[in-house]
Structure 1
Amino acid sequence: MVASRSRSNSLVVPQAAQALEQLKYEIAQELGIQLPKDGYYGHMLTRETGSIGGQITRRLVQMAEQQLSGKFGR
């Protein structure tokens, strides 16, 4: 029996796609990384794409922590 796989990187809130895309470009600019205009990332270094992804994750965790601290303050 073969287990069916679902995409683990699909968005829970599809409407967030545009905001995440904007965040990606902002972070790339902050890091001094030029994103390809054609959308093909195959020529980029793994280090560059990893840096962008890591910063996105840090920023999203920070946003969540701020929301939670406001909602569930000490």
Structure 2
Amino acid sequence: MSNRQLVPEAKAGLYSFKMETAKELGVNFTDYNGDLTSRECGSVGGQMVKKMVEQYERNL
């Protein structure tokens, strides 16, 4: 498995989505995130997936 993006054009959109989700959760993402806990970072990723699944289900 690799971290290669399948759609490179989506990079800016995913970054915006990540920042929006982090802000909603109160996680202070910056260019350097080494001071964040794994739980904080994981909560952002988990919430992003949750939102994407909800959006997909609405569009069914």
TM over 0.5: yes
Q: Which structure has more RCO (C-alpha within 8 Å, separation ≥ 6)?
A: 2
Instruction: Tell me the number of residue pairs that the alignment of Structure 1 and Structure 2 aligns.
Output: 60
RMSD: 1.4
TM-score (norm 2): 0.83
Amino-acid identity (%): 37
Provide the residue aligned with 1:61 in structure 2.
53
Q: Which contiguous aligned blocks of 4+ residues in structure 1 show a shift greater than 4 angstroms? A: none
Which one has the bigger helix percentage? Answer: 2
Any stretches of 5+ residues in structure 2 without a counterpart?
none
Any stretches of 5+ residues in structure 1 without a counterpart?
1-5, 70-74
Larger Rg: 1
TM-score (norm 1): 0.70
